[in-house]
Structure 1
């Protein structure tokens, strides 16, 4: 895939959500979806990738842009440990593996997950979503 094709894919991804294609948004969108593959990133890992690519974007802009992408449904935020956020380009409901040793998130097979029953929501509330993060660590020995 050429750089032009990747940029076009990123620009179209933004347009599909009604977001104006600013230089910074296009640079980040191209890294996120330019090759057509789903990925899980942190703000810091995306910032490092955009810098490596030679683009000039601040870390604050990366955070703000990821938030904007989530707000319009382009990304799904997955929180691990209550403080570490990963951003997933696959916005369909699906479980995740969190590799503790590598601090890495990956998709888990959704067809193997069964949730037989959920507790009822408290009075006046409804369940908005269920996030499943399965924590993994390498076996020792």
Structure 2
């Protein structure tokens, strides 16, 4: 029988950011400190978007949804700036990008080890607990390469 191996979901670079990122355990975090600790300058727009992103706890949000929330909060920001900021936060280890298909991407405020369910038609993403998924027999990576992370998105639809 094949031995089950946990799926690698974090790289050493994102592990190093673990202490700086927001979580359900540190609700009262300071976004300015979080941004500085991740190497990002706390600009007015980054601060405003971080407040919107993290004030609701862990969640999955698209750039369009964040843009709508920013408009509702009267934060003057373009959709292009939203995309740029989300990608900067992802590179800094503050968000996790979840590509559910070739055209739809969500950003997850929970960067801990876990995988995702995606409900087709409803465009809803939610977490699978961290160790609920295991893979066996991962392929050997090409010479000179190493597996950094495996992302699993389980697609769902209502039963007929």
After TM superposition, the score normalised by the length of structure 1 is 0.86
Q: Residue 15 of structure 1 is aligned with which of 23, 27, 36?
A: 36
Q: Deviations over 1:12-57 (max 9, x none)?
A: 322321321111101110011124x111111111001110111111
Equivalent residue runs for 1:69-80 within 5 Å:
69-80=89-100
Gaps of 5+ in 2: 1-26
Gaps of 5+ in 1: 1-5
- 2:72 corresponds in structure 1 to 52
How far apart in 2 are the matches of 1:58 and 1:51? 9
What is the number of residues matched between the two proteins? Answer: 134
Counterpart check, 1:120 vs 2:134: no
Q: Residue 85 of structure 1 is aligned with which of 99, 105, 116?
A: 105
How far apart in 1 are the matches of 2:108 and 2:29? 20
**3-state SS of paired residue (2:30):** helix
How far apart in 2 are the matches of 1:38 and 1:10? 15
Structure 1 stretch 77-86 or stretch 47-56: which is displaced more?
A: 77-86
Shift of 1:111: 2.8
Higher RCO, 1 vs 2 (CA within 8 Å, ≥6 residues apart): 2
Counterpart check, 1:130 vs 2:150: yes
Shift of 1:83: 2.6
Shift of 1:82: 2.4
Counterpart check, 1:104 vs 2:104: no
Shift of 1:137: 0.7
RMSD between superposed Cα atoms in Å: 1.8
After TM superposition, the score normalised by the length of structure 2 is 0.77
